[in-house]
Amino acid sequence: MAAKATLCSGMAFPPGPTQPTAWITYRWVREPYTLLEELEERFGDTFSMKIAGFPRMMIVSNPDHVREIFSDDGETLEAGRVNRTLAPLLGDRSVLMADGRDHLRKRKILLPPFHGERMQAYGRAMLELTDDGIDAFPVGAPFAIHGPMQDITLRIIVRTIFGFEEGPQTEKMVARTKRVLELGAWAPLLFPLMQFDLGRFSPFGRFRIAVAEADEMLYGEIARRRRDGARGPDILSMLLDAKDDAGRPMPDAELRDELVTLLVAGHETTATALTWAMRWMLDAPAAFEELRAEVAALGDAPTPEAIAKCALLDSVAREALRLVPVIPLVGRMLRAPKKLAGYELPAGAVVACSIYLAHRREAAYPHADSFDPRRFVGKKVSAYEFLPFGGGVRRCIGMAFALYEMKMVLARLVARTDLRLERRGPVAMVRRSITITPADGLRVVLDVRRPRRAPESAGASPGGAVA
Ligand code: HEM
């Protein structure tokens, strides 16, 4: 029997599950991808659902509907209002919270250091920090690789933003950021209902204390740089010098929020994507060897530029992001009533593009459920069918950076390690805040580690010393 459209404030939403909101919310936290698959099978590629504490949401994955949403200029469909649940960590002035003109102004300031051309400057640090990470892997004993991936990507983003070389400053920054993220990873904290502060006696209170400790460090660094006038090729230097249209510098509170946004958005996502890429590659030995041969053909000490051009490596990174996108969907809230995907939606409704469902459409990806690392080689895929970084005026600022980084880290992993999965077979997933990771952090065993070689040709590092 065909499901009926839901009426809400006199407007029609597409059909969706009729189970209690609490049950749907529980499943959304525990098993978002299974839930999305079930709902698509039952209701087709456009449906609605209600999550506790949030307005009813219409979910789409058909490329025509994704295009409708990504084509909005940000005036009617607002992402900042949907992202507000992240405000306790990122702050009210983060680019992720902003909408309309304020959002575009912030993007204009933040985008330049993430432009594709700048990537080579970061590549050396990415390779060096990956080598440090690999040197710390235990040999012969199982370990969860997600932790080391987080450590590598966090050190890369700390160096890119602050220009610190390894040392006490980096260790302090890494430790405090990790503490905040560990406490914030508990998915129920995403819900406004759980955001009550009873100091150390409540999860949200403990999280707030950790955020305050990280803030102290960030404000200290901002003050030091303003005082010293010290500048380098790092992102903080650039933000300190940035001026708005009226020639005013960015206030400290705004600077803090953007720094936290880049620190958080810029490493946990990439670490998770790398962990998934390893999950698929280690389960596909022939593909792994093919990738190793591609990287080995570059010689003992390839430059970041050479690695970045490897077609199969690029395809592996994209295929991993396709099969299990790190973030299940991207949402927008309607400022005014609007017809989308054929439904007249009211102001205040939320529409979301399901990245996961869009990536599993057979029409775009034959045998969509299987890992095919050659799938993207030599192909240009539509932005409405491949959307791990969202799209339109909100598309991820760090997209080029993340893809470049994934290639650098994967190239070093395949060149220097013989890793294997501790157990083959299906991998359970868990939600860590907004990202979806392997539940056990992906248990692997390192059998062989080969020595490191530094790239020979010159290339700048974002750290002050080399650039
Ligand atoms: C594999 C890694 C990454 C994934 C999968 C990812 C994914 C995403 C997604 C889905 C969005 C929301 C887009 C939308 O609403 O349409 C986003 C936004 C954003 N990302 Fe990423 N991201 C990654 C890495 C990074 C990195 C490395 C940085 C920066 C260092 C970064 C910074 C941001 C920022 C600042 C936004 C907000 C953009 C805006 O609201 O205008 N991300 N990212």
> According to the model, what pLDDT value does residue 229 have?
85
For 210, phi then psi, to 5°, come to -65, -40
| Ligand 1 lined by 123 (C-beta under 6 Å) | no
State whether the beta carbon of 107 lies less than 6 angstroms from ligand 1: yes
For residue 266, the CA-to-ligand 1 centroid distance in Å is 7
Residue 137 Cα to ligand 1 middle (Å): 28
Considering only CA atoms, which residue is closest to atom 16 of ligand 1? 390
DSSP 8-state assignment for residue 334: E
CATH 1.10.630.10 assigned to 89-325+372-449: yes
Q: Is the CB of 261 under 6 A from ligand 1?
A: yes
Out of 389, 393, 394, 435, mutate this one to test ligand 1's pocket (max ligand atoms within 8 Å of CB): namely 389
320 CA distance to ligand 1 centroid (A)?
Answer: 16
CA distance 148 to 411: 16
The residue whose CA is least distant from atom 31 of ligand 1 is 398
pLDDT tens, residue by residue, 199-236? 777 777 787 888 888 899 999 999 999 998 888 888 99
The residue contributing the CA closest to ligand 1 atom 30 is 266
Give the atom of ligand 1 at the shortest distance from the alpha carbon of 402.
27
All residues at 6 or more sequence positions from 220 whose CB lies less than 8 Å from its CB, including other chains: none
Q: What is the pLDDT of residue 19?
A: 95
Buried b (16+ CB within 10 A) or exposed e, 446-455: beeeeebeeb
* Mean pLDDT, the chain cut into blocks of 10 residues (467 residues total): 46 90 91 94 96 91 98 95 86 94 92 83 93 97 96 94 85 86 68 71 78 90 90 89 87 94 90 96 94 95 95 97 94 95 94 97 96 94 97 96 97 97 88 84 96 64 31
Tokens read off for 303: 């430059």
The number of the ligand 1 atom at minimal distance from the alpha carbon of 330 is 15
**What is the residue with the minimal CA distance to atom 1 of ligand 1?**
270
The response to whether residue 95 sits with its C-beta less than 6 Å from ligand 1 reads yes
State if residue 83 touches ligand 1 by the CB under 6 angstroms criterion.
no
Instruction: Tell me if 395 CB under 6 Å of ligand 1.
Output: yes
Nearest protein Cα to ligand 1, atom 8: 389
**Nearest residue to 174 via CA among 268, 277, 278, 85:** 268
Q: How many CB atoms lie within 10 A of CB 223?
A: 11
pTM: 0.92
CB 458 within 8 A of CB 162: no
b or e along 385-413 (b: 16 or more beta carbons within 10 Å of the residue's beta carbon)? bbbbbbbbbbebbbebbbbbbbbbbbbbb
Long-range pairs, 221-224, Cβ under 8 A, ≥24: 221/162, 222/252, 222/255, 222/256, 222/259, 223/252
Atom of ligand 1 nearest to the CA of 388: 5
CA of 410 to the centre of ligand 1 (A): 20
Residue 390 Cα, ligand 1 centroid: separation in angstroms?
8
- DSSP state, 351? E
- Distance between CA 285 and CA 291 in Å, rounded? 10
Predicted pLDDT at 245: 81
* Residues contacting 329, CB < 8 A, separation 6+: 59, 352, 353, 354, 355, 356
Calculate the alpha carbon distances from 102 to 69, 112, 282, 300 in Å: 20, 17, 44, 47
User: Which pLDDT does position 456 carry in this prediction?
Assistant: 60
Q: Where are the domains of the chain?
A: 89-325+372-449
Buried b (16+ CB within 10 A) or exposed e, 435-445: bbbbeebbebb
Q: Is the CB of 397 under 6 A from ligand 1?
A: yes
Q: Is 160 in the pocket of ligand 1 (CB under 6 A)?
A: no
Q: Which atom of ligand 1 is nearest to the CA of 332?
A: 15
Residue 397 Cα to ligand 1 midpoint, Å, equals: 6
CA–CA separation, 16 and 277 (whole Å): 32
d(CA 210, CA 226): 25
Tokens of 296: 């080995």
Q: State which ligand 1 atom lies nearest to the alpha carbon of 80.
A: 40
Q: Looking at ligand 1, which atom is closest to the CA of residue 98?
A: 40
Q: How confident is the model at residue 165, as a pLDDT?
A: 82
What is the widest separation between alpha-carbon atoms in the chain?
70
CA pair distance 300, 411, nearest whole angstrom: 12
